[in-house]
Chains A and B, each alone.
Chain A
Amino acid sequence: MALSKDHMLNIYRDMVLIRRFEEIIEKYSKNGTIPGFIHLSIGQEAAQAGVIDVLRETDYKFPDHRGHGAIVLASRPEDRKLIMAEIFGKKTGINGGRGGSMHINDLKVRNMGFNGIQGSTVVTSLGTAFASVYNQTDDVTVVFMGDGTLGEGTCHESMNMAATWKLPLIYVLINNQYAISTPYTESHPQKQLSDWGKGYNVPSMTVDGNDIEAVIEVTQSAVDRAKRGEGPTLIELMTYRWQGHFSGDPAAYRPEGELEKWKEKCPIKLAKEKLLNHFGVHESEITEIHNWVEKEINSYLEFSLASPNPSPQDSIKYVYTDVEVEGRS
């Protein structure tokens, strides 16, 4: 699929934005300012930006644990600093600091958030897809999952049910080669994990997940199919995470030279080459984008650092919708 020049520039900006977003939080995770652990998707930008690009605000999105990119791009521009503040555990965070990196959700754009238990959203997403059918709306549901997560039993239950009931559900399987230290070739018998969908009569395909145009094209056709009422699609996007499983993991399990090989296929680099060589974009336009992103990210960071911590007493809120649980006296 050929994108227009403007579209390509926009999506390039999106990818640079999420790359820089993660580079910044990586820095503040490593220096101890961000509590807990974070999973970075540096190197996987096209897989997230391309999918989100196709979706509307009203489509249901279930990001995975490595989902900052999809989450940021699915949100409204004015909310992006709140997402960073959430990762910093601040009161101004989009969820008041109660969720952090792994549970960022924003219902107004139907970012349904991640569940820390791998494979869980793969069945929750059945429900939003089901509700679209029940309520006769044309909103589709996209659930992101990793190659390792495909081992969870819920994936079988979900795909079996979605295919039988022809639910408007799109499984985006981000194959970044590893589940923590285990290569997918050592945990699954299939050559390509998209083969897995065939047993359920689900159209399944493997696509270069670093090729932004290819990601957009395959997502668009899956969305169209879902809207025609023909049911789910499984999209396997081949990519690679540059960092360890979590920020701080030295990833010693990777063979030498593998990372360098994949860096050659950096999705942002590939998109930039296309812009320069096929779209006749000038270097100065690229520089302008990078400058804009820098300003943008710095404003998120300043906001996050300057924000106060949550009130500890807020921990007892929202356990139930109607009754309060006891706090400390």
Chain B
Amino acid sequence: MTRKISFSKAINEALHQEMERDEKVFIIGEDVAKMGGDFGITAGIWSKWPKRAFDTALSESAIIGLSCGAALCGLRPVAELMFADFIAVCYDQIVNNAAKLSYMYEGKASAQIVVRAVTGGGIRCAYHHSQCIEPWLMNIPGLVVLAPSTPYEAKGLLISAIRNNNPVIFLEHKGLYNKKGEVPEDLYELPLYKANIVREGSDITIVAAMSMVDFAQKAAEELSGQGIQCEIINPLTLFPLDKETIINSVAKTGRLVIIQEGPKFMGYAAEIGSMVYEEIFEYLKAPMKRITSLDTPVPFAPVMEDYVMPQYEDVLKACNQLMSF
């Protein structure tokens, strides 16, 4: 049975069902228990399992450190970072602890933790609550970075993440929380390390993640009216990346546009671009295009934030330029 529920409800449901299934799963974070989370994502868990939901002090390093240690004892912590920006204060725990434990223990134990982190801009929260921090995490072998774009993906990927033995950063774009979509009632897993071909097309490959997928779809729709067929690839697992799906698509279309929220310089769009150049340069019919945020902190005033975010018009323009290159 499927029904339409929101992105936030899908995550909440995955948490409830996994807690029900496996008593090793617990949640920990600031205001995640009694209040059910700043965004309400963990609602109802504490009342069902008061001994498996933990409100902490403002101590992000302790939250991640404790989660790592508990994971080494076989538990499956799901920690919440109220805003992904706060990864900066527990970055060491993620980068130098969680990401290294499997390597350190030669696979005999690992940081089987999920860190749910609320990411992205668009809700007028300015530069400390709006960043896309994915690139901070994508240079760290050992980490898995997940980025769902629909309620269906959110539920399935979170279930897979909880069951996976690697440290997983599960990015929840706050602009998607109210997005509705069809979601099965039952438990189901979606594969990690596997990109989704959101739409097939023969002319241009557009790579986009999280809220940028909606952007890409709108553009593809509009361009289709002009006879340009876009193929949209949503990586889902940003790191380690499913290179093959992207390479195969660009080998077919010969054109690549990457839409990426967050600063352009050293963003993952750069990595995807170089990967394509390195591996299938001879298939390219035009240079790649990157549509990204500006290289600034995220400003507060709506007109300012809108100005630095990726521009829809630029997607259309880029696609047209590639077609007439």
Q: State the A residues within 8 Å of B (CB).
A: 60, 95-96, 98-99, 103, 105, 107, 112-113, 115-117, 120, 122-132, 134-135, 141, 153-154, 157-158, 160-161, 164, 317-323, 325
Contact = CB atoms under 8 A, between A and B. Distances in A.
A154 B70 contact: no
Given A320-B102, A322-B165, A126 B141 contact: no
Contact of A126 (B62, B109, B112): B62
B46 interface: no
Given A117-B92, A154-B65, A157-B62, A124 B97 contact: yes
B66 A120 contact: no
Contact of A164 (B57, B70, B73, B240): B57
Interface of B: 26, 56-57, 59, 61-62, 64-75, 77, 92-93, 96-97, 100, 102-110, 112, 141-142, 144, 164-166, 192-193, 240
Contacts of B102: 318-321
A131 B74 contact: yes
9 contacts: A105-B104, A112-B69, A113-B104, A115-B97, A160-B57, A318-B106, A321-B112, A323-B240, A325-B240
Contacts of A132: 73
Contact of A158 (B62, B107, B142): B62
B61 to A, nearest CB: 5
A260 B255 CA distance: 74
Nearest to A120: B97
A127 B69 contact: yes
* Residue among A95, A107, A115, A135 facing the most chain B CB atoms (10 A cut-off): A115
A95 B103 CA distance: 10
A107 to B, nearest CB: 5
B65 to A, nearest CB: 3
Contact of B72 (A128, A160, A317, A320): A128
A157 B64 CA distance: 11
A321 to B, nearest CB: 4
Given A99-B104, A120-B93, A157-B65, 16 more contacts: A95-B104, A98-B104, A112-B72, A125-B65, A126-B65, A128-B70, A130-B66, A130-B69, A131-B72, A157-B57, A157-B59, A157-B61, A157-B62, A161-B57, A318-B103, A320-B144
Contacts of B72: 107, 112, 124, 127-128, 131
B82 to A, nearest CB: 16
B89 to A, nearest CB: 9
Contacts of A157: 57, 59, 61-62, 65
